Amino acid sequence: MSLIKASVWLTISELVFNLSGYIIHSLLGRFLGPAEYGRYGIIITFATMIVVLIGRGVPIAMSKYLSEVRKKDPSTILSIRKTGAIVQTILISVVTILYYFLVPPIAAKLLNDPSLVSLFRISTPIIPAFALASFYVYYFNGIHKFNSQSLIKFYRGFTKVIFIVSLASLFSTKGAIVGHALAPFSVFLLAYFLDPFRKEKSAKKSSVSWQKMLSFAWPITLFMLFYEIMISVDLYMVKAFTGDDTITGFYNAALTIGRLPFYAFYFLTIILLPKISETTSQKNQKQTKKILSFAMRFLFILLIPAITLLSFFSESVSELFFGKQFISASEPLSVLAFGLGFLVVFYILAFVLNGAGKNKVPMWIAFGGMILNCLLNFFLIQKYGIFGAAIATSISSFITMVLVIIFTQKIITPFLNILSLTRYITGSAIIYYIASLGITQDKLMFIPWSLLLLAIYFVFLFLTKEFSKEDIVQLKLNLKKK
């Protein structure tokens, strides 16, 4: 499957999966109201952070080694998978037990809300269920079964809506939390039966030991932990400093909408990690540069106007997703749209560095970003409230993005075309200016206006020869490639 064709399928599945997530958030915001939705956001965000800590480090390491042997020595695939499964099972068991007994009282004390203890304990099954599903996602990624990954994403999108919404309608916040565990567990069951090597018993022993896998996984695990704290600490600090569930609910809504671009382009991390791992292990610098330059050009062309429009239409989008009672989320969203857009670039390039084996670089950048965001939020939330939280996150996100671009260019290969980037930014600034001349906020009319403004943006790129007929022809050819 070609890079573009794989991108298309993964993009569609990713959009379906994340559309289901926004349907859930939209319905829960209406069912639960701002205050209870804020409590739900605290629990799910925290449980997700823990899942990321144990659910991706080892699977990503496994995916890297699988991508390196799938052509050279496919007989070792089962051995690598078995090693990853053993290490992952031990980590899941230990962290799940610690989460159940230690996290609820500590978190509730830090957040000044003892009533959260029971909700934290109910969320415990999310950790093993999510980790099991994540294991198979990265397993298919490593053996380049992108079609299976796409199917899993489609399936999970539908099951999320069914489990979470139905249980929330019956049992409110507690039901929604339980649904978050049942959905990924059903994904794990489907993935198990999709495994092409499920019935094979014999396997050649691999040189990838559990020590080697952990050696690669621990910097990624710490990166994930630092990254999750960096992108979530603002929500926790809003809750801690304001003590207001309603304000926390507004900010959680802004974060949820602001992450739309992240979910739309997340598929690039799935593709780039094994691709970069494969080309760098072969020392194929030319192919590495070609893949990375194409992927980042594709990202910047679409991401920059997307976050520009999301910022401008923040009020309309907030009303569309959550209703008029969440209009106050639009103020922080207008800033967060840019900050979370910077994080998209940072996260994707972090996976590029991971794929090239330079996994300590994004770990340290994420650590610095986490510390900076904590400090900025500490001062700005107390002075400017949730708008200050949005400013803090955007500043720290921009700095981490700049650092990861510099290190990727230096360590792996130059990929950034400054002239092209200037054109994308200029085109986005033009459509923002046109929008500000008289387009009014409306929860539905912003959609056709956005499409019209995007058309103007691409006309600008076409006139400046940044986007040409050759690009369209090349796109069509790649979509036909097997």
| Res 294: pLDDT | 84
Burial of 437 by CB count in 10 Å (0-12 exposed, 13-18 middle, 19+ buried)? exposed
Which range is least confidently modeled, 10-24, 196-210, 290-304, 404-418? 196-210
pLDDT, average across residues 277-303 = 83
What token pair was written down for 266?
């997340």
- 32 near 199, Cβ under 8 Å? no
Q: Rounded to whole angstroms, how far apart are CA atoms 397 and 231?
A: 9
Tokens 């803090």 -> residue = 392
What is the overall mean pLDDT for the chain?
84
What are the C-alpha distances in Å from 132 to residues 155, 186, 206?
A: 15, 10, 22
- 29 near 246, Cβ under 8 Å? no
**End-to-end C-alpha distance for the chain, whole angstroms:** 5
| Res 225: pLDDT | 82
Over 60: is that where the pLDDT of 94 sits? yes
| Res 196: pLDDT | 76
Amino acid at 260: L
| Res 268: pLDDT | 73
| Res 157: pLDDT | 82
In 3D, which of 206, 190, 229, 186 has the Cα closest to residue 64?
206
Over 80: is that where the pLDDT of 235 sits? yes
Dihedral Cα 278, 281, 282, 287, nearest 10 deg: 50
- 111 near 66, Cβ under 8 Å? no
What are the C-alpha distances in Å from 413 to residues 68, 293, 396?
A: 20, 9, 25
In 3D, which of 17, 218, 54 has the Cα closest to residue 130?
54
What token pair was written down for 204?
């050649």
pLDDT range class, residue 482, cuts 50, 70, 90: very low
Q: Rounded to whole angstroms, how far apart are CA atoms 59 and 217?
A: 8
| Res 479: pLDDT | 47
Reduced to 3 states (helix: H, G, I; strand: E, B; else coil), residue 354 is helix
| Res 438: pLDDT | 80
Which range is least confidently modeled, 23-32, 127-136, 384-393, 452-461? 23-32
pLDDT digits (tens, 9 = 90+) for 180-218: 899 889 989 888 888 877 666 656 677 677 788 878 778
What token pair was written down for 145?
């079964």
CA 475 to chain centre: 25
pLDDT, average across residues 395-401 = 96
Q: Please state whether 413 falls in left (phi above 0), alpha (psi between -120 and 50) or beta.
A: beta
Q: Rounded to whole angstroms, how far apart are CA atoms 206 and 345?
A: 34
What token pair was written down for 120?
């934290």
Burial of 344 by CB count in 10 Å (0-12 exposed, 13-18 middle, 19+ buried)? buried
| Res 405: pLDDT | 94
**Length of the chain in residues, anyone?**
482
Q: What residues contact residue 52 under an 8 Å CB cut-off, 6+ apart?
A: 224, 225, 227, 228
Longest dimension (CA), the chain: 68
pLDDT range class, residue 472, cuts 50, 70, 90: low
Q: Rounded to whole angstroms, how far apart are CA atoms 89 and 58?
A: 10
DSSP H or E stretch at residue 434 = helix 418-436
CA dihedral over 140, 141, 144, 150, signed as positive or negative: positive
Vertex 412, ends 409 and 413: CA angle to 5°?
55
Vertex 431, ends 439 and 256: CA angle to 5°?
80
